[in-house]
Structure 1
Amino acid sequence: MIKYLFFAICIFTPGILTAQTWNVQSTNISFQASMFGADVDGTFKGFKGSVIFDPLHPESASISGSVDAATLTTGNSLRDRHLKEKEQFFEAIKYPRITMKSTKIEKAATGYTGTFDLTLKTVTKSVKIPFTFLKTGSNAIIKANVEINRKDWKFGGNPIGMSDKVKLNFELNLSPVNL
């Protein structure tokens, strides 16, 4: 009897612990930096990625994505061109994607904390990002905010008046993949 029970557990447990796969329906990826004390807000489009997440088993989750660096917009076309083209900034033609991939996700006091490898041009650094996962009916929303130091990615050079801190904001609107 025990051997049959063990066999049943081995067969059915992986299905129970399998995280939900989600389609990313829409995103809002934005950033905020400061230049001479004035905030500069911007956005990115062209998100591609995958989300596998079960709020009860975050350790089995996998979240990855990238945005198209050439879609950067700050509302100022001269600044946008400068940021997209200059060597100390995005060089969007040479480095078309900015990528993130989770390496660990765990439950936190409020929501979750993900450890992600963030790659900007040729530099990859690990970043801890707190986030929330909110189910809305059968759909869900992931929201995250984090502040990074741009110099950790050798980004932006040393212009006078530019803050080293950059705030990143992510919102992913998800729908379940029907298996």
Structure 2
Amino acid sequence: MPADLTHIRQVMDEADCLYPEAEVEAAIARVGEAITAQMADSNPVVFCVMNGGLIFAGKLLTHLRFPLEASYLHATRYRNETRGGDLFWKAKPEISFIDRDVLIIDDILDEGHTLSAIIDFCKHAGAASVRTAVLIDKAHDRKASPGLKADFTGLPCIDRFIFGYGMDYKGYWRNAAGIYAVKGL
């Protein structure tokens, strides 16, 4: 059943803009420079975590100034809801990364259960190393493991429900040009 578009539009109308487009784009460029500095000689396989990582990955890839192989994987805990559940694989990686350096690109490090499961999957499947890049690192003390951090982070974020730049509100507003927080969440 389609969402109530009146509600979906209202969510955007009432949302707080945490980071406007220019700030997000500058953060993506900084992440690209940092990754290039560390991984330019490693011939990595770069995986975009769908669907949330799509916009960040697409924009970030243009800032990576070295040869790489790009692919995707699709694992989720949210399934268009606002709370996560069990990890569900929609598409596992199809490109071989045995004995290769891997870079996982995702939209957000919230609690980190999804990202941790993907990292473990890659390590157990033979990756030489696994690094992570996230656009947003949400600040709170509910991480999947103490001290969990991405190797490369674009922007910190307060502990609210956010959308934009790939992150969604009930399947909508991934296309928002900025990072927004839902009113009251």
TM-score if structure 2 supplies the norm length? 0.29
TM-score if structure 1 supplies the norm length? 0.29
Which structure: greater strand fraction? Answer: 1
Larger radius of gyration: 1
